[in-house]
Every structure is written in C-alpha cells, then in structure tokens.
C-alpha cells in the first residue's frame, strides 16, 4: 500500500472515530446517521469514489510534509551502493522527498523528477 493510501486509510479511521463519537453525544438526523453508518467500514471496503474523499486529506498531509521537510542530503557517486544513482558530487537530492513523491500524483509533488 502506498504512503498516500496509508494516510487516506488513517484519515478514514479518524473520521470513523470522530463521527461515532459525535453520533453518541449529539442528536443527529436519522438521514445523517444512515449515511454515516454505511461508511463505518474499513477503508479497503469503500468504493473508489468514497476513498477519494479521504485521499483529499492525505494529499494535504503530503503537501505539508513536502513543503516543510528540509532537503539537505548530498548524494555522491560513492553512495550508489545504497541504491542511489551515480550523481555528480554537487548534486543536491532529497531521497526522503523522492520517496514521498513516488506514490503521489505528479501534480501534487513539486519535487518532480528533474535530476533524479
């Protein structure tokens, strides 16, 4: 499961906890309870359309991480034994961001593929 899907699944779990707590403590319409209770299922049992609602929040988390995560690792040719491609000594590459971006739609990941 990709990082994006893991985050979306976690978001769904959080929503279930929140909505069940709200349903217990507040007076909600029967219509709302009926709609929500149909969604109180594991993430992997949701339709793709229902999963998309959770993916929106996963994407927000990924954008925040991508924006705020420092990128200060120098990768040199000698590091290629650790799975890095041979790069010039002056190449500045953030492997963490690369890993974050590999599971994220390209339009959400400003790091892109240049220099990789």
Same-domain check for residues 14 and 34: yes
Mark whether 50 and 74 lie in a shared domain: no
> What is residue 97's predicted lDDT score, i.e. its pLDDT?
56
**Strand segments (E) across 16-115:** none
Nearest Cα neighbor of 68 from 110, 14, 103 is 110
Do residue 51 and residue 83 come from a single domain? no
Render pLDDT for 51-82 as a digit per residue (tens, 0 to 9): 999 999 998 888 887 666 555 433 333 344 44
Query: Is the sign of the CA dihedral 43, 46, 50, 55 positive or negative?
Result: positive
Q: Are both 6 and 56 inside the same structural domain?
A: yes
Contact status, residue 55 vs residue 63, Cβ threshold 8 Å: no
Across 27-39, b (16+ Cβ under 10 Å) vs e yields eeeeeeeeebeee
- Give the integer Cα–Cα distance in Å for 12 and 39: 9
Same domain, 9 and 35: yes
Predicted pLDDT at 86: 44
Q: Provide the domain limits for residue 100.
A: 70-116
pLDDT score of 62? 81
pTM tops 0.85, yes or no: no
- List average pLDDT for each run of 10 residues in the chain, which is 116 residues long: 90 97 95 96 97 93 72 40 42 50 56 39
Residues 57 and 74 in one domain: no
């Amino acid at each position: 499961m990709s990082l994006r899907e893991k985050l979306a699944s976690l978001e769904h779990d959080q929503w279930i906890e929140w909505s069940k707590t709200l349903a217990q403590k507040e007076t909600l319409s029967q219509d709302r309870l009926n709609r929500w209770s149909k969604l109180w299922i594991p993430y992997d049992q949701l339709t793709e359309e229902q999963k998309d609602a959770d993916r929106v929040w996963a994407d927000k988390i990924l954008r925040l991480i991508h924006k705020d995560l420092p990128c200060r690792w120098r990768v040199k040719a000698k590091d290629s034994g650790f799975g890095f491609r041979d790069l010039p000594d002056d190449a500045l590459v953030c492997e963490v961001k690369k890993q974050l971006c590999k599971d994220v739609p390209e339009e959400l990941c400003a790091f892109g593929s240049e220099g990789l």
